[in-house]
Amino acid sequence: MKTINDNQYLKENEHLRTKCIVYMPMFSICSVHGYLNGEHEYCPKCDNTLIKLDEKILKSIN
Ligand SMILES: [Zn+2]
């Protein structure tokens, strides 16, 4: 299984993050498991608190 540090990845790929938000407006990111479809409070695999990218964050970016 490939492990990605998503925070670092997103910092280095701002344009990709924007693209992901456009096409996947409702998903969460686990720092261990990466992107998870849907809105989750915690990772279903490891119980990490997730980074949620939802409408509230979209508004703050815009
Ligand atoms: Zn996880």
Is the pLDDT assigned to residue 46 strictly greater than 90? yes
What pLDDT does 1 receive? 57
How remote is the CA of residue 25 from the centroid of ligand 1, in Å? 20
> What is the CA 36 to chain-centroid distance, rounded?
7
Phi (first) and psi of residue 36, to 5 degrees = -125, 130
How far apart, in whole angstroms, are the C-alpha atoms of residue 47 and residue 18? Answer: 26
| pTM over cut 0.85 | no
How remote is the CA of residue 19 from the centroid of ligand 1, in Å? 23
How remote is the CA of residue 61 from the centroid of ligand 1, in Å? 25
Average pLDDT of span 43-55: 80
Q: The tokens of 13 are what?
A: 């790929």
At 15-39, the pLDDT tens digits run: 665 555 555 457 888 989 988 888 8
What pLDDT does 16 receive? 61
Q: The tokens of 56 are what?
A: 């509230």
